[in-house]
Amino acid sequence: MKPQSNHAIPRRQWLAGSGVATLAFSESESTSAAPSAGHLDNNLQCVDLSDLRGPLPLDVVSTTRTLEQTEDWEHGSYKNPGWPAGGHNSLGYPSVVQNTHGKNPDGRFYLFYAHHDPMSGIGCAVAESIQGPYRKLSALPGTARAHSRILTVPNYSAAGPNPDDPSHYSSPCVVWNEEAQLWFMYFHYFNHFHAAWTASPNCPGEGWQMTALATCPDLARFQWTIWRNTDVGKVSVWDIVPVLPTTDAPWMKSASSYHAILRLPDGRWLAFLRGTPTAGPGPTVGFASSVNGRSWQHLTNHPVIAAGKPWTQTAKEYRPAFVGYLGKRQAGQHTYLVAWSEHSQPHVIYSTTTDFKSFQRDPRGYAKWKGPDGLVSVWRTGKRLYLFAGADVHEMLLP
């Protein structure tokens, strides 16, 4: 989207910049390479693997549970009149950052999480080290907080949500924006106005579930502002501006959600997209690029990770996991590790690419650690890689 502030904008302009572009990630476009010393900032969500002395391991050395259901809102309420008892347990969808930027950099690790059932909001837990333990905000010493949500669905009722209401916020992905001096959180929301969205000539796709943006200058204050604009009109619930809306392309016509957002070593933003069609097959994967994290353009030839590609195996669903930077490898080109999952069970596969259009699948087969429904939030400390997936964190020893 072209607007970069919350100022009013004309109705027909608020979706500008959400189109398709013929962008290529070529050597000539790169403005900078990886830092000359040290690793890339983990808070940019593109893990630095440029000094690996061998392939990324398929095994992990340990798996630890990081999240358990302890608060009412963490239980699914849909078609569940006995809430908070019963219901589906989908708690997870973690995104981890370290508070080393912004107005109050306390050095602690912040794990943002959700579930994908109504009435999920976005929760937060904090740890002194990447290994944890992670304490939810309601359990922090001296807190008066009754819950750990930092974003709450507006029609959530602590007395008992409507079991027929599908409202939720989910799949957070948090990235530091150095230029704006803000933390960006991407998350998806259920759009109650999807019928009006579908009927509007200004709105692409069907708009059932789309990705929004919230910002925060100070992680330690736990106060996030969702990008809203009343000029959106009654096509997006709660005046939310969808920064990554649905599209008219069949692969992302129904839902644009569960994306993994990151920044490449040259500063460009990359969205690792999961699109859901109106009717089968299931979700598939593509990419979008941005110069500011708000206005996005899809790359071409989508979906690029789907059935029938030379680098995929036949599966019901394909979902983004994470991206790593491998440095300059093939003919001096910047090379990336791209990991996605193939379902019905979430088997994670690694691949390499130089252009995010074609991929070389890892011939060793699937990773042996359990993949999640959503993205994998990856953190590197020395020779240790921490893969936050679902309600668990996997620890990997790098070669």
Q: What is the pLDDT of residues 256-304, one digit of tens each?
A: 999 999 999 999 999 999 999 998 889 999 999 999 999 999 998 999 9
**Distance separating alpha carbons of residues 308 and 302, to the nearest angstrom:** 13
Lowest mean pLDDT among 30-39, 89-98, 156-165: 30-39
What average pLDDT does the segment 243-258 reach?
A: 98
Please give the pLDDT value at position 38.
64
**Distance separating alpha carbons of residues 265 and 147, to the nearest angstrom:** 37
Place of tokens 């230029």: 179
Q: Return all residues near 159 (Cβ < 8 A) that are at least 6 apart.
A: none
Cα→Cα distances 21→34, 90, 177, 299, 302, Å: 25, 35, 23, 5, 11
What's CA 78's distance to the chain center, in Å? Answer: 23
Q: Which long-range contacts does 80-89 make (Cβ < 8 Å, 24+ apart)?
A: 80/163, 81/163, 83/160, 83/161, 83/163, 87/117, 88/115, 88/117, 89/115
User: What band does 20 get if pLDDT is binned at 50, 70 and 90?
Assistant: very low
* Mean of pLDDT over the chain: 91
Tens-digit pLDDT profile for residues 107-122 = 999 999 999 999 999 9
Please give the pLDDT value at position 15.
56
Tell whether the model's pLDDT for residue 7 goes beyond 50: no
Higher-scoring residue by pLDDT: 38, 309:
309
Q: Which two tokens stand for residue 155?
A: 């029609």
Please give the pLDDT value at position 26.
39
User: What band does 25 get if pLDDT is binned at 50, 70 and 90?
Assistant: very low
Write phi, then psi, for 11 (nearest 5 degrees).
Answer: -55, -45
Share of the chain above pLDDT 90, in %: 80
Please give the pLDDT value at position 35.
38
User: Do residues 90 and 73 touch, judged by C-beta distance below 8 A?
Assistant: no
What average pLDDT does the segment 88-111 reach?
A: 97
The topology (CATH level 3) of 11-397 is Tachylectin-2; Chain A (2.115.10)
Please give the pLDDT value at position 85.
86
**Distance separating alpha carbons of residues 370 and 59, to the nearest angstrom:** 10
Tell whether the model's pLDDT for residue 194 goes beyond 80: yes
User: What band does 86 get if pLDDT is binned at 50, 70 and 90?
Assistant: confident
User: Do residues 322 and 47 touch, judged by C-beta distance below 8 A?
Assistant: yes
Share of the chain above pLDDT 70, in %: 90
What average pLDDT does the segment 67-93 reach?
A: 91
